[in-house]
Structure 1
Amino acid sequence: MDFWLVSALLTFVAILIVMLPLTRKEVVSAAQGEEDRSVYIQQLKEIDSDLARGLLDEQSAAQARLEISRRILKNDRRMTDAASNDNANSNDAEKKYLFSAGARWVTILVLLFIPIVSWGVYATIGTPDLPSQPLVDRKGNTIQDKSAVELIAQAEAHLANAPDDGRGWAILAPIYMRLGRVDDAINAYRKALELLGKDVDRLIGLGEALTIKANGQITPEALALFEEAGTVAPADVRPPLMKARALLQAGKRDDAIDVLQIILNTSPEDALWRADIEQTIANLKAGKGPTAPPAQSSRPAEQPRGPTAEDVEAAASLDEQGRKDMIRSMVDGLAERLRENPTDVEGWERLLRAYVVLGEQDKVNEALRNAANALPENDMRRLTDTATQLGIDATGVLK
């Protein structure tokens, strides 16, 4: 009985709140209309200013301009209506309901219809007397308590039933690599490439898996994959670096130096991997090691492999119970790489997006504070802008 009484009271209050605008009238005056129009014009200027400062993108700015333009047109029509009534009124204002009589009656009927139907349906199929379940009883059923092995098994079961799910194979492949399941990673990368097509990360991932299986030797198949990745993404530095390693393994020191020099000539001056490559070239010219470019250079710090917004969204195609932990595995891997290389601003951006998707505000705040301690001023400003676009008050967190 208490449940139905509380529900009735809450429904009554909600209906009153919604019906309040139906009883209100608006006052249209020429002075007020001019004032509103000036405000809208100022808002249009502010949009242009925010766009110039990079606080808005072109699409958001266009949508905002369209909405404000609609308000200006509506305000102009109201001013025109008010002016037409000047001769019939002693003042320059006209009062009228915000909604027409027909709209008010339709709204009232809908407001009465919804709770009546809702109560009837819930009384038939609902269970208001169901006892509450304490947190301690629910905790054992949460996704977070499942082991990584069990979650991967669930994903594998999903792919066994849906072998054409290319995104599922693409998500599992790097996880297999981190777990040392190289053969499974090779198979997953091959499936992903077959179903989703050529992609620089998938091509390089398969090439690296084949190299690991060959005890670090770049096989002809792996080299072909790296060269194909370079064709797909000419600006990516990883394929030519792996080619240089292959040349060194084949004893072609001068050819490897030429490839490394080309990378230096085409890389930005502030690229984080330049120092390693310059040192490698100097060592090779001096006739001493290393016999291959530094391992960390094969995967530049500015191109970490972590969950993008597409990866997080694609995880939904896997088993529903396991997707959050699959995302968690990827996010943890990215966070670990950022601890080793905290100056990677793109990595911090990916980490923030992933934490927002997971709804972990504490992790968002912690990531921002860690990034602030490691990033230079320009990169931190970029990360702050990204946080703002994600709805995060970075300034408040960093105070």
Structure 2
Amino acid sequence: MIAFWILSAAMALLVGAVIVLALLRGRRSAQDAVASDIGVYRDQLREIDRDEERGTVGPEEAQRLRTEVSRRLLAADAKDASETAAGSEPKPVSRVAALLIALFLVSGSIYLYASLGAPGYGDLGLSDRIARAEEARQNRPAQSEAESDAASAPAEAPNPEYQALVERLRATVAERQNDVQGFQLLARSEAALGNYRAAYRAQERIIELKGEEATAEDYADLADMMVLAAGGYVSPEAEAAVESALNRDPENGVASYYAGLSMAQTGRPDRAFRIWDNLLRRSTAEDAWVAPIMSQIEDMAWRAGVNDYSPPVPQTALPGPTADDLEAAGELSEEDRQGMIEGMVARLSDRLATQGGSPEEWARLISAYGVLGNLDQARAILQNAEEVFLGDEAALTTVREAARSAGVEE
């Protein structure tokens, strides 16, 4: 450490000496330049006299040249006299000024390093930073500790009727410990009241009852409730739920968001940035995790060493029946399913007929009819789409691929 300070002081003194010498010699250099100009002008006057004697320059031309060169000589001489007078200050004054400048540079450098630097802190390479982040990650607070430290925000008083319903639901579930639907309703109700600890305990019971049939969404909901209960902190227990969700569905958006947040909270902005950037690129603007990611990812990119990052713009979700809609419709009775799908399809068809739409929207409509087994209607929609996109090969490829997937023969 002593060697560092000696080297730093020596470098500061060397820089100060260079600057001081430049200041002391700068005026002298200017005077030398003026003196050189005076010598040049005098040589030009002698050259004019010789040219006139040889007859190479006429008397009138020689007189004009002498006047011009003499004017320049007098200006240079006056400049030399003023700079000589200005440079005649006592040498002790110059030396004191130089010493003050040197002291200012050295003391200023030490002060800045002491204020902004980290005296006594050794170099921390990438491998060391990763190791320390992993150590901090292994020793971070547990869920219960985080919950006790989390400041509980004052919740609004719930509707008395809703509160009464939740109380009855709690009593019912307490008597029916194997009722999955009851626990699902209880978890959602407790979360709506802000009772996140009770909510995730109900969610844990759901997963326990489902066993191997527990889905990625079940584990993602558990992680979400645990993080909310801990005030936004991803505990080791919440991270375990995140990993379980991603093992079942690597594309799960909620789990991916919390996986990135966990990395950001434990000193790995590089991993957090990669996870969130990938998630944004496959998200729609309506996804719940887009807004919190967009508010943090540029800072995360900078911390990860990516200085020219521009976040991708999530796509707007396409209207019309989604895959989840179709799956939900398949679980209904035939009559209810037809009513549900007819309503969704009618809205999409009306919009496409009056406002037009993208090839993807036409493809979604064709797929919806194919899933429901209405191949004649799917074929009719395909024919309409081919008329709309006549000449647009890329669009035609999109709708025809949807038709083939739906089982419609062209």
Instruction: State the TM bucket, normalised to the shorter chain.
Output: 0.3 to 0.5
Q: Which has the larger radius of gyration?
A: 2
Larger relative contact order, structure 1 or 2 (CA cutoff 8 Å, min sep 6): 1
- After TM superposition, the score normalised by the length of structure 2 is 0.38
